Amino acid sequence: KILAGVPSRLRIGGDWRDAAGGRTFAVTNPADGGELMAVADAGPADAVAALDAAVTAQEAWAATAPRERAEILRRAFEEIHARRDELAVLITLEMGKPLRDAYAEIDYGAEFFRWFAEEAVRIDGGYKVSPNGRGRVLVMRQPVGPSLLVTPWNFPLAMATRKIGPALAAGCTVVVKPAEQTPLTTLALAAVLEHCGVPAGVVNVVTTSDPAGVVGTLLRDGRLRKLSFTGSTEVGRLLLAQAARTVLRTSMELGGNAPFLVFDDADLDAAVDGAIVAKLRNMGEACTAANRFYAQRGIAGEFAERLAARMAGLRVAPGLDEGSQIGPLIDEAGRAKVGTLVDDAVGKGARVLTGGKPLGDAGYFYAPTVLADVPGDAALLSEEIFGPVAPVLPFDTDEEAVALANATEYGLVAYLYTRDLTRALRTAEALETGMIGLNQGVVSNAAAPFGGVKQSGLGREGGPTGIDEYLETKYIAIDV
């Protein structure tokens, strides 16, 4: 019944259109592998049509009153809440996460519309006296222009709102290209935005089974002014290289390899609670997921045992089942990768405290897993696991913990548990990441700057600077 109300066609200009040639592709349910519905499969010509619409709408959208843009976003925030029951089921159906996680994503995702509704009317500039005393420096901000937003499958609503919110607030029109695994939520969101008064051509959506072809076509088009991408570091590198051709403005939210440090003075109950959230929110399918657990030697054994006991007690079931706490992974490729990483670690001597195997006859389930005695050369310490697997390793000194945490090309987020304020701040300053969870397992917050350093990305989403990603600075020189 919910699926019947979801658009299945491309959103281009003010219309819902079939893809050229009427092509479609199937969206499947990761809980059972079954087909949910077919959606339009855009090709390069459809991508160009979507950009045409965004380019046509750009000037008028940039000229709308900031207050008007703000009110549209605010209405969309409210409308997402009004439709939360159907949106939650839709997220769970196509992505797999337990229903209660889908509700959490809706609360989080809607916040970006509220936050950027508030920011749309706070775009400022400057006026200052030049050092020579005669000149004046007048600075204004203007929208970057038509923007391509490429989103991943793990948070189908929140990753879209986190980009659409600031883009619209700044006065940019957009083409959204959702992940092929989860196009339905984005299409439903486009319908919400249409309902809330977003003018034709301001938000266009191209669903496709050929992301390289569609995105590649758009990145070659000189009319595109901005790319915002969330996904793997591997694809991010490819897109950065392509963006270089037109010297495109880019925002990149890429992979992570988050360390979770537990010092011997930590509140162990809080550390285990935080570890469960940092590891298992979204089944571990988050760029912010704790990927490596380092516990100080005196408490490492107890921490690992307690984490394993908690993880063993979780209910693994289809996300729509009553009481499901862990849903399926996104697809067979995702589950196979997790299995390969666990087998590699076990083959090199790691000990399985719980889990360590796929589950169920249908769907892509993997058991919540804790590994102890993980050798330093296990692949899962350097690769993003993207599944419910927690390797636990001991450390001795604070310096060693920081060195281990920083020994990665990634730098998105780190988690840190200690009751000693000086130790916490010293460690937080030394960690090479864009974000730190201090005695807490979640950092995501629409009001905070989300983003990474090193190969985890470029730019920040959310917070007071999130809108800057969609604004250019223009300086006007005046002599008075």
Q: Which residue has the tokens 């969609």?
A: 470
In the set 58, 147, 151, 325, which binds ligand ADP (CB under 6 A)?
151
Q: CB of 470: closest distance to ligand ADP in angstroms?
A: 19
Q: Which residue has the tokens 């694809």?
A: 235
Q: C-alpha angle with apex 162: 161 to 164, nearest 5 degrees?
A: 55
Q: CB of 335: closest distance to ligand ADP in angstroms?
A: 13
Nearer to ligand ADP, 29 or 151 (CB): 151
Does the protein bind ligand ADP through residue 277 (CB under 6 A)? no
Nearer to ligand ADP, 167 or 471 (CB): 167
Task: Count the site residues for ligand ADP by CB under 6 A.
Answer: 14
In the set 62, 238, 407, 425, which binds ligand ADP (CB under 6 A)?
238
Does the protein bind ligand ADP through residue 232 (CB under 6 A)? yes
In the set 65, 129, 138, 212, which binds ligand ADP (CB under 6 A)?
212
Q: CB of 211: closest distance to ligand ADP in angstroms?
A: 3
Which residue is at the shortest CB distance from ligand ADP?
Answer: 231
Alpha-carbon gap, residue 309 to 301, rounded angstroms: 12
Nearer to ligand ADP, 56 or 232 (CB): 232
Q: How many CB atoms lie within 10 A of CB 234?
A: 10
Q: CB of 229: closest distance to ligand ADP in angstroms?
A: 7
Q: Binding segment for ligand ADP among 129-137, 174-182, 186-194, 311-319 (CB under 6 A)?
A: 174-182
Whether 399 is catalytic:
no
Q: CB of 232: closest distance to ligand ADP in angstroms?
A: 3
List the interface residues with ligand ADP, window 360-419 (CB under 6 A): none
Does the protein bind ligand ADP through residue 209 (CB under 6 A)? no
Residue 108 in contact with residue 462, Cβ under 8 Å? no
Q: CB of 207: closest distance to ligand ADP in angstroms?
A: 10
Q: Which of 6, 11, 64 is nearest to 38 (CA)?
A: 6
Does the protein bind ligand ADP through residue 179 (CB under 6 A)? yes
In the set 144, 159, 172, 215, which binds ligand ADP (CB under 6 A)?
215
Please pick, among 94, 119, 194, 253, the residue that the annotation labels catalytic. 253
Alpha-carbon gap, residue 159 to 73, rounded angstroms: 16
Does the protein bind ligand ADP through residue 235 (CB under 6 A)? yes
- Between the CA atoms of 207, 211, 214 and 220, what dihedral angle is there, to the nearest 10 degrees? 140
For the CA atoms of the chain, what is the radius of gyration?
Answer: 23
In the set 13, 152, 451, 466, which binds ligand ADP (CB under 6 A)?
152
Q: Binding segment for ligand ADP among 27-35, 96-104, 208-216, 418-426 (CB under 6 A)?
A: 208-216
Q: How many CB atoms lie within 10 A of CB 157?
A: 27
Nearer to ligand ADP, 186 or 296 (CB): 186
Q: Between 131 and 150, how does the x/- string for binding to ligand ADP read (CB under 6 A)? A: -------------------x
| Separation of first and last alpha carbons in the chain | 67
Residue 290 in contact with residue 278, Cβ under 8 Å? yes
Q: Binding segment for ligand ADP among 96-104, 228-236, 431-439, 453-461 (CB under 6 A)?
A: 228-236
Does the protein bind ligand ADP through residue 40 (CB under 6 A)? no
Q: Binding segment for ligand ADP among 211-219, 262-270, 443-451, 457-465 (CB under 6 A)?
A: 211-219
Residue 146 phi, psi dihedral angles, 5° rounding:
-55, 130
Does the protein bind ligand ADP through residue 211 (CB under 6 A)? yes
In the set 145, 156, 165, 231, which binds ligand ADP (CB under 6 A)?
231
Does the protein bind ligand ADP through residue 345 (CB under 6 A)? no
Q: CB of 330: closest distance to ligand ADP in angstroms?
A: 8
Does the protein bind ligand ADP through residue 91 (CB under 6 A)? no
Q: CB of 231: closest distance to ligand ADP in angstroms?
A: 3
Does the protein bind ligand ADP through residue 180 (CB under 6 A)? yes
Q: How many CB atoms lie within 10 A of CB 376?
A: 10
Alpha-carbon gap, residue 436 to 432, rounded angstroms: 10
Residue 191 in contact with residue 82, Cβ under 8 Å? no
Nearer to ligand ADP, 69 or 177 (CB): 177
Q: CB of 349: closest distance to ligand ADP in angstroms?
A: 28
Does the protein bind ligand ADP through residue 240 (CB under 6 A)? no
Catalytic residues: 253
Contacting positions for ligand ADP (CB under 6 A):
150-152, 177, 179-180, 211-212, 215, 231-232, 235, 238-239
